[in-house]
Amino acid sequence: MPMMPAPSPDGGVETKYPYGEEHIGTTELNPSYRVDLRNPGPEELDRLFESDQVKDWSQLSWKDAGRPYRVENMAEGKKKWEAEANEDMSVKTSWEHFNRSFHEWFVKDVPRELNETKSNLKQHLSRFRWSEVKAALGDYMRLSLWNYVQRVEDGIWDPRGKRALFRGLDVEKPRILFLGAAEGYEAMQLSAMYPGGEAVLVDYDAFCKTDRYGRFPDSYPFLGTNPATGGPEVWYKEQMKIEYIVDDIRNLAFGREFDIVLSVGLLEHFPDEYKPEVLDWHRKFLKPGGVAILTTPRDQVKSRLYYKIMADVMNYTYRELMNIRQMGLYLHENGFGILRHGIIKVHNGIVAKPR
């Protein structure tokens, strides 16, 4: 299906699908996110996905790899909730808080909020209101960081990095299962690259279906493939076949029926005693020959700083930051053969098959 913007009845151009073939190769900033339709060739994709640090996983030990870094400081909202309830917040409730808190940031008009915060700061400063100055400085710092990470650098969605990670899969019209799908971004990117299949998104927080995915912008363009020509094509959420299931992954009754089982930022939320079970979720729904694709946030100075500064937004659940060797070792030890591994902007990425 060609994705040129359709002429509207008044002769202008409809904005429902604002980007078409003529935008391939371009990037632009809008108030909440970056649009990135740059279409690098294979060489540049290889650079976007720095890969293959480990030649033989059986030779790597935990002694060599070290242990993941644990993010300890929890969100004030969680601490307050626990103090008032006089109990620990359950894991599911923690995710519900996280998803609401994180979602608020994706829908911000960042330049407008930055300007507002700056003028608040000036006013408080001119009136010597020190506690307000401190709060406004904190807001300004978090907004500036978000502007850089999500909007300017596009480090969270990272479409070019994700395309580099997902490219070259031996699948046609795949059935894709996304575990802990949140807003479902990566299943949409995969669906655009490998069109004609179906994606099943699973998250036990209903807000993810109604808001994080439900309100994901219909006008966000995903650069994928034209099935007729094999060339590039722009795809939109509404053109993809997506089912969203609100349930615990542990309750899924699927058989071995998926070509791709995917998770993005799931494994690192489970302490080591649960990791074999989580990795089994990525194996048990795969067709013979199917692939598991996992990403986890990288352990780098920038990321440690991000989870410090954004603690009140992000830190509701157990979380580790790991490097690609540590992540790969978890998969290798739990019966996966690693086909490709590497790093994209803020995540590690692995494509693997059960051994």
Ligand X SMILES: C[S@@+](CC[C@H](N)C(=O)[O-])C[C@H]1O[C@@H](n2cnc3c(N)ncnc32)[C@H](O)[C@@H]1O
Residues found near ligand X in the complex (CB under 6 A): 95, 99, 102, 180, 182, 202-205, 208, 248-250, 264-266
Q: State how far the Cα of 323 lies from the Cα of 296, in Å rounded to an integer.
A: 9
Minimum gap (Å) between residue 192 Cβ and ligand X: 17
Q: State how far the Cα of 137 lies from the Cα of 146, in Å rounded to an integer.
A: 14
Non-local CB neighbours of 214 within 8 Å, separated by 6+ positions: none
Give how far Cα 320 sits from Cα of 80, 177, 214, Å: 23, 24, 28
Q: Which residue is nearest to ligand X (CB)?
A: 180
Minimum gap (Å) between residue 202 Cβ and ligand X: 6
Maximum separation of any 2 CA atoms in the chain, in Å: 68
Minimum gap (Å) between residue 43 Cβ and ligand X: 28
Between residues 176 and 249, which has the closer beta carbon with respect to ligand X?
249
Which single residue is written with the structure tokens 């408080």? 124
Minimum gap (Å) between residue 311 Cβ and ligand X: 15
Between residues 117 and 334, which has the closer beta carbon with respect to ligand X?
334
Between residues 266 and 279, which has the closer beta carbon with respect to ligand X?
266
Minimum gap (Å) between residue 162 Cβ and ligand X: 11
Q: State how far the Cα of 120 lies from the Cα of 136, in Å rounded to an integer.
A: 7
Non-local CB neighbours of 348 within 8 Å, separated by 6+ positions: 295, 296, 297, 298, 322, 323, 324, 327, 341, 342
Sequence letter at residue 210: T
